[in-house]
Structure 1
Amino acid sequence: MKIKTNKINSANAQIEAQIPKETIDANVEKIAKNLTKTASVQGFRKGKVPVAVVKKQYGERLVQDAEAEALREVLNRGLDELKVTMDALIGEPNISNFVKNADSIEVTVKVAMRPEINLDNYKDMVESFEKPAITDEQVTERLEKIADAQGKFVDLKRKRAAKKGDSAIIDFEGSIDGELFEGGAAKEFALVLGSGQFIPGFEDQVIGMKIAEEKVVKVTFPESYGSDKLAGKDAEFKVTLHNIQEKAKVEIDDAFAEKILAGQDDKSLDNLKNQIKAQLENEALAKLYNEDLKPALLETFVTKFDFDLPEFVVEQEIDVSLNKKASTMSEDEIKELREDAAKLESLRETFREDAQRSVKATFIIDALATAESVKVDENEVMQTIYYEAMQMGQDPRMAYDKYKEAGYLPAIQMSMVEDKVLTQILNSKIKEA
């Protein structure tokens, strides 16, 4: 068997081989002899089946198994010549050429290796920065929002017109072209004006109404409204305002702090302010990280680290981008691409640069995660999906299963690893005040 190897670069290699017919025949003979010990053929006792009968019974399958065994030998010998271990490979070897001749098989196998990335001095690429400063005014503003959320609606002490922030107790009855529609009516409904709970324009027209006043509110359902029967339609609502309630002001004092900090040892207002300040600092830092520092840091790493990329991974990334593009194209456009290979290839090439940067970033994050000892296990992924599902009022288990069935869990896990490793690196660069 003739084997020729070519290490294209540190991440890609090619193995070419010419497998003689004699090698395939010898493999067929060996496999057939082994099968005589286990094969069940009518008319013969187990272990006593002649080789000729096994060959006749299994025919083409024996040839396929013999070729597969020869290919494994090609791969093993090729990797030995390349001085590449099996565990250094990523993905499956790609058989790019397999030609059967009368006396031999010509085969080309492409393999990809995990890139070698030199991370020396990667922390020196990260500039130090100061944590965002939080003012007393910001703390007071957050305190007032918390206090407002704790406030209860009470009847007005002095009658007046409804204004933004009030709870309007109303009856309403909606119609389109004079016809009532399902779900368009309610009695003594408490609507907080300015909450955006109703369709645009409804609450604005209730503002200014007085108790016992009746009014026809005219609105248009958004084109994106959930019901096709209502989307984009003009509607009229007969509205009766029964009562107006305003939110009672909550005093921000130690008694308020004690209620908010129930279960903590220090229930003082000062401690509440300190905790709010810390929370605001974390929120500001998270915003700075996500909108500025993390993207900039990853771009720095992608630009400064230079290493070879496995070709097949880049091609897979291009395929993903191409499929996304195809999902937005018309049937005629897709048909044109299928009939014009050059045009399809030209379109593929438009995604190559972004695909290379994406793949490069993925390998960099993987290497940095190892250097920073950052891991995200499946349980952590599950907890994150469960939490987000509950926040959105979804069934956590169904959400997790949906992501799993769609094959999204590895991508979610990688995203979490990226977030943790970049956060850890940036945290080490915060200047102490």
Structure 2
Amino acid sequence: MQVTKTSDEGLKREFRVVLEASDLDGRAASRFEELKDRVRINGFRPGKVPASHLKRLYGRSVMAEVIEQAVAEANSQIVTDNSFKLALEPKVTFPEEQSEIEAVLEGRSDLAYTVAMEILPEIVLADFSAIALEKPVAPVEDADVDQAIDRLVDQNRPYEPRPEGSKAEQRDRVTISFKGTIDGELFDGGSADDVPVVVGSGSFIPGFEDQLVGIAAGETRTVNVTFPANYLAAHLAGKDAAFEVTCSEIAAPGHVEIDDAFAKTLGMDTIDALKDAIRQRLTGEREGLSRARLKRALLDALDTRHSFALPEGLVSQEFESVWAQITGEMKQGGRTFEDEKTTEEAARDEYRKIAERRVRLGLVLAELGQKADIKVTDDEVTRALVERARSFPGQEQQVWDYYRKNPNALASLRAPIFEEKVVDHLLSLVQLTEKRVTKDELFREEDADKPAA
């Protein structure tokens, strides 16, 4: 094997490799010897098939296997000899002329090919003890539990039809049918029949429910509203619409006693047990959100403290993944870059920076995880797989089999476990304090966040 470096630029390396025909032929001969004892061919006793006959039958396919194995070994040797850490799999370029390929397959010529490699940069980790972070904490108060109970009451409240001639009031449930038009034309999704609406619940477009106050059963009225500017369906966002609404029934809310009997309707033995369950759920939600805020701040700190050349291939791969997701969501929602108050070029620049950030942080976390000897056990991956399978009721076995048969899919379960372990390790190294905030402040920060982490 002859190896010649032909390019050394930044993180990219390129080599010209020559595999001698004699070496390839020797490998093929060994392969034919293995085949001789295994193949069964009419007219020959087992193990007595001449190598020349095997070569006529299987020569090209055997040589193709030999070349594939030899190239893989040669590339691996280059990586080992140069102590490379590869960013991506090597890119091999074989001769383009068919005559050259034929000569190699027939054992008449050496195989000369080029292999391009992109290596990982050397990463100097920052002093993590100099990073100071605040963890926002919003403890669950009794009032939060009471509000959650009130929402459960509203969701499970009985309704009784009001007497004939009654008019709808706030908190009444009205059953309506409606047809919506924009500029006099019906639009998709703007019509429905027999829809129950609790007046004042905020489940419809802002302003819609307010105009149902005073409506009577059998009455038809026009409700005029404006779709929010950030409405999910882009073709309706910001548009004025008129709905012809007909009310068929008005029902008044009944009283619900918040006691053990109410708790039993929700699967709990007592009202205290229900409140404890609600407190645990709310605490878990806030802890998760608090950690997300803290993790985002930690990643921001890492991003500003590390600067190094990024493997172009990794960045491009990450960008294509992000861009496909973004454009897919926009297409599904019927939105355009103009709707987002930007251009495709500007959006590409923005998401390219996001891809670069993700790659940079991924390399920093990987380097730290390696130096801290952080491992993900098979048991941890199995538990994650069990949880993933449980999220698809009735398809658990198919999900289990899919992940077990696909190493890349299984790696997608391992990666976030590794990342969270590295984050936990990092949080033990930084200066960490807690900052008490209100529930509204905690959730408002979530709304303001951009998904660039």
Which residue does the alignment assign to 2:295? Answer: 294
Tell whether the 8 Å contact from 1:289 to 1:423 is kept in structure 2 after alignment: no
Which residue does the alignment assign to 1:82? Answer: 82
In the TM superposition, residue 165 of structure 1 has moved relative to its aligned partner by 1.5
**2-structure distance, mates of 1:14, 1:6:** 5
Distance 1:239 1:348, change over 3 A: closer
1:85-96 matches, within 5 Å, as 92-96=89-93
Between the two proteins, the alignment pairs up a number of residues equal to 387
Secondary structure of the residue that 1:377 maps to in structure 2? helix
**1-structure distance, mates of 2:196, 2:142:** 35
Give the one of 190, 194, 200 matched to 2:200: 194
Which amino acid is 1:63 matched to? Answer: M
Instruction: Give yes or no for the alignment of 1:125 onto 2:126.
Output: no
Which amino acid is 1:46 matched to? Answer: P
**1-structure distance, mates of 2:417, 2:316:** 24
Which residue does the alignment assign to 1:383? Answer: 387
In the TM superposition, residue 247 of structure 1 has moved relative to its aligned partner by 4.3
Give the one of 192, 215, 219 matched to 1:214: 219
Tell whether the 8 Å contact from 1:382 to 1:400 is kept in structure 2 after alignment: no
**1-structure distance, mates of 2:256, 2:226:** 35
**2-structure distance, mates of 1:432, 1:201:** 38
Instruction: Give yes or no for the alignment of 1:246 onto 2:253.
Output: yes
Which amino acid is 1:163 matched to? Answer: E
Distance 1:296 1:148, change over 3 A: same
Distance 1:325 1:201, change over 3 A: closer
Query: What do residues 329-359 of structure 1 show as CA deviations (whole Å, max 9, x unaligned)?
Result: 99xxxxxxxxxxxxxxxx9999765433322
Distance 1:321 1:17, change over 3 A: same
Structure 2 unmatched ranges of 5 or more: 234-239, 332-346, 437-453
**2-structure distance, mates of 1:47, 1:288:** 70
Tell whether the 8 Å contact from 1:175 to 1:235 is kept in structure 2 after alignment: yes
In the TM superposition, residue 301 of structure 1 has moved relative to its aligned partner by 1.7
Higher radius of gyration, 1 or 2: 1
Query: What do residues 235-268 of structure 1 show as CA deviations (whole Å, max 9, x unaligned)?
Result: 6444344x441343757x999899999557x949
Larger RCO (CA under 8 A, 6+ residues apart): 2
Query: What do residues 186-207 of structure 1 show as CA deviations (whole Å, max 9, x unaligned)?
Result: 5xx7542234566887644431
Give the one of 82, 101, 112 matched to 1:106: 112
Tell whether the 8 Å contact from 2:384 to 2:413 is kept in structure 1 after alignment: no
Which amino acid is 1:28 matched to? Answer: A
1:326-341 matches, within 5 Å, as none
Secondary structure of the residue that 2:78 maps to in structure 1? helix
Structure 1 unmatched ranges of 5 or more: 226-231, 331-346
Which residue does the alignment assign to 2:71? Answer: 71
Which residue does the alignment assign to 1:50? Answer: 50
Distance 1:35 1:279, change over 3 A: closer
Secondary structure of the residue that 2:247 maps to in structure 1? strand
**1-structure distance, mates of 2:367, 2:267:** 43
**2-structure distance, mates of 1:185, 1:135:** 41
Tell whether the 8 Å contact from 1:217 to 1:236 is kept in structure 2 after alignment: yes
**2-structure distance, mates of 1:374, 1:27:** 39
Which residue does the alignment assign to 1:313? Answer: 314
Which amino acid is 2:255 matched to? Answer: A
Secondary structure of the residue that 1:194 maps to in structure 2? coil
Percent identical = 21
In the TM superposition, residue 31 of structure 1 has moved relative to its aligned partner by 3.1
TM-score, length basis structure 1: 0.62
Which amino acid is 1:298 matched to? Answer: L
Which amino acid is 1:65 matched to? Answer: E
Query: What do residues 300-340 of structure 1 show as CA deviations (whole Å, max 9, x unaligned)?
Result: 2233245665554334334435656887999xxxxxxxxxx
**2-structure distance, mates of 1:420, 1:192:** 46
**2-structure distance, mates of 1:350, 1:209:** 50
**2-structure distance, mates of 1:204, 1:432:** 40
Tell whether the 8 Å contact from 1:11 to 1:114 is kept in structure 2 after alignment: yes
Which amino acid is 1:248 matched to? Answer: H
Tell whether the 8 Å contact from 1:93 to 1:109 is kept in structure 2 after alignment: yes
**2-structure distance, mates of 1:198, 1:349:** 37
Root-mean-square deviation (CA), in Å? 5.6
Which residue does the alignment assign to 1:342? Answer: none
Distance 1:22 1:305, change over 3 A: same
**2-structure distance, mates of 1:105, 1:354:** 42
In the TM superposition, residue 377 of structure 1 has moved relative to its aligned partner by 1.9
Secondary structure of the residue that 1:45 maps to in structure 2? coil
Instruction: Give yes or no for the alignment of 1:163 onto 2:169.
Output: yes
